[in-house]
Structure 1
Amino acid sequence: MAITQVAVYAHLTAADIEALGRELDAMRQDILDQRGARDTTYIRRTIAFQRILDAAARLTICFGRTKASWLLGTAGLATAKSIENMELGHNVCHGQWDWMNDPEIHSSTWEWDMAGLSSQWRYAHNYRHHVFTNVLGMDEDIGFGVIRVTRDERWRPAHLLQPLQNLLLAATFEWGIAVHDLYSERDRAATPAQKSAQIRELVKKIARQAGKDYVLFPAFSGRRWRRTLAANASANIMRNLWAYLVIFCGHFPDGAEKFAPTVVEHETKPEWYLRQMLGTANFSAGPLLAFLSGNLCYQIEHHLFPDLPSNRYAEIAVRVRALCDKYDLPYTSGSLLRQYLLTLRTIHKLALPDSFLIATSDDAPETASERKFDGADASDTDRSLGRSGLRTALRRAGRGRYGRHIVDTSRVTMSRYRPIRIESADSGSRQGRRP
């Protein structure tokens, strides 16, 4: 089911992968060498814009007299919250701006405008998700523990409800992430006292967040408190829906592959790079949509270089796409609508028992492995491309060049991902690098 041999699936030799790694290392170093005033100006202007927009939206909500002013203020507040969460909070907590040595925008000090604690998120996301991207039992972001997105997870009757669970998760995304991060953090806690302390810290953060949005700002509005309360609740839901959409479109459409735990045993950095390229997906976006998504429309580039400034991802994407052409690798991308429709198809399809599904578990859009190419002649080279890699192999497979579907009844399916206990001495410092 999941990919067990990344090089075999990618149709690359060891020399190819090493060469790919060297080119990506050079690309990273180029951006590190270029960081400077342009990037500093960008992040400071972004912070200023977000805060001005937030203040203007709240004033419009509070003092506006019409329904149109309420709608405008609520939309502005939702936009400000989205920018704070994704272009600021997410990227700051990745350490993208630590090089500036500014305590205001340092990964160790930033606390974002959402229910979860940034410190707990850094371990669950920066370390568990980015280091072990899409590795079963190690990356807890595969379906976030509530959605079945791969056939490597055994079907259970409760999965029949996952279309509804998906809608609930979308509307309450910040709360789902807060609980998700807490359990990830608790998994590495050594003692019950530490686990209790983590829960208390999260409860305090939730109290502060709820108090700000649902008590403090409504109280400032006096007799119009209902108007402010409704606007704040609506803005939070809109922000949740947008964050959910961006994250799901980067991780669960067709082409975002899953991997067996064995792939990280003795994994080299070039092999880690390749896994990131195969395990993530982009969606097409212009400058405005990219900004509103925290530049996470460039999910492939973000997973390759999670601690490089997000405003650089657009230029990095041009070079990464060229590398994919050079090594005949797929560059998984599509419109936002297309990527989400593919994701929805997976969510609704995998709500059903496997016996209702048509494609095999090695050759399905949402779950594939190197077995889908069994029987193919790996030495058959596409001379027009100068290299026969995964992109050519997938094209041929789509045309039926590889013939039959493969069924291997000897596989062991995981009844439920049992997360492997992973320790990190410094969870905040792990920026998507292999340990």
Structure 2
Amino acid sequence: MTAPGLLIAAPRSGSGKTTVTLGLLAALARRGLRVRAAKSGPDYIDPAFHAAASGAPGLNLDSFAMAPAQLGRLAGEAAAAADLLLVEASMGLFDGIAGEPGRTGAGADLAAMLGLPVVLVLDISGQSQSAAAVVRGFATHDPRVRIAGVVLNKVASERHRLQAADAIAAVGVPVLGSLPRDAAMALPERHLGLVQAREHPALAAHLDRLAATIAAHVDLDAVAALAAPMRLPGGGWTTPRPPGQRIALAQDEAFSFVYEHVLGGWRAAGAEIFPFSPLADEPPPEGCDVCWLPGGYPELHGERLAANGRFREGVRRFAASRPVHGECGGYMALGEAIEDAQGIAHPMLGLLGHVTSFARRRLNLGYRRARLLADGPLGPAGAVLRGHEFHYASTIRPGGDTPLFALADGTGRDLGLAGSRRGLVSGGFFHAIALE
């Protein structure tokens, strides 16, 4: 028997989904409920906030990258020791890519597949009764998806609330609560989204404030009562093999983007993980057989990383005899240099030949399929992985290394060769989520 679940969604980004999700998690946990949370889609930052609010590890559920059986297994495991699972959608509820039905990456895919009732967060600033038309449209857009309730956000006054709530009530969808306009409820942001949870200067106090606000303005009993038992798809899927038996994993404010399901998969396969901090000038532990440099924000710490000789020499020594792989930010650090936002170039590990720049920004965002061109930490040659890219850094000098994979976007459009490999070192901007 697993916990019932709900999907917290909205018509668009910026409506307050994360604020409401965190407030609900914190408020319900303070009532003694065992709550778990998951994020729909490829997101490293929100799950860390979910973990802080719920007291349990965060999780990603991605309908594009993950097979239905894997989604069912992960959702079931998350809910097995909980009283309630809250899944936070990304962007708008129905926003995804064109392609195979149910594999678009949209939050609506999860609502339909897992049978999750949807709580719609509506930012009603600049409108009142028109909010009912939005609710009606969302309630009738896809018969597989049930809008079970609404939380109003950025309510200006009692009159404003009544106008919107009365109109929505006529649609037949209950209004579960309404949040006043309050800039203090927002979390700080930077170029890839929210500032990381570990960097928030007063996260516990902020979560306390969100919990109190939600408890005062949202009917928590009504929200919990809307949750429904999940339908968990069965079947099997191929799990990526761990990159090694003893994995040296860079972990700090510069390198922190690792999915919980990936770490869990490595551990389940018998691998051991040994964190080290490049920012603290730590080298990868010598007893490990592979080094993994995940994504993050090395462009914000270029001067410090360039000065950390023990880290740089330790990774170079490691790479002489054992595999080293870098994803996105880790890939940037493997190159010759990183140019920061001010245009200052900071020398990096020099194990690959490229140079990247955060001063010359260009947004790269979207789902990807990557076919490996050689054996390596990501898997054997020919294997196809699903994942994504999300970075602003641009490559200003490609270097002359051998490509690592053939890349396509989520719809299958060819994007050419990408990534780099030289000897035992490999990397690319591509973040792997699951095997195809």
- Identify whether the pair has TM-score above 0.5, normalized to the shorter chain: no
What's the TM-score, normalizing by structure 2?
0.28
* Structure with the larger strand share: 2
Q: Determine which structure has greater relative contact order: mean sequence separation of CA pairs < 8 Å that are 6+ residues apart, divided by chain length.
A: 1
What's the TM-score, normalizing by structure 1?
0.28
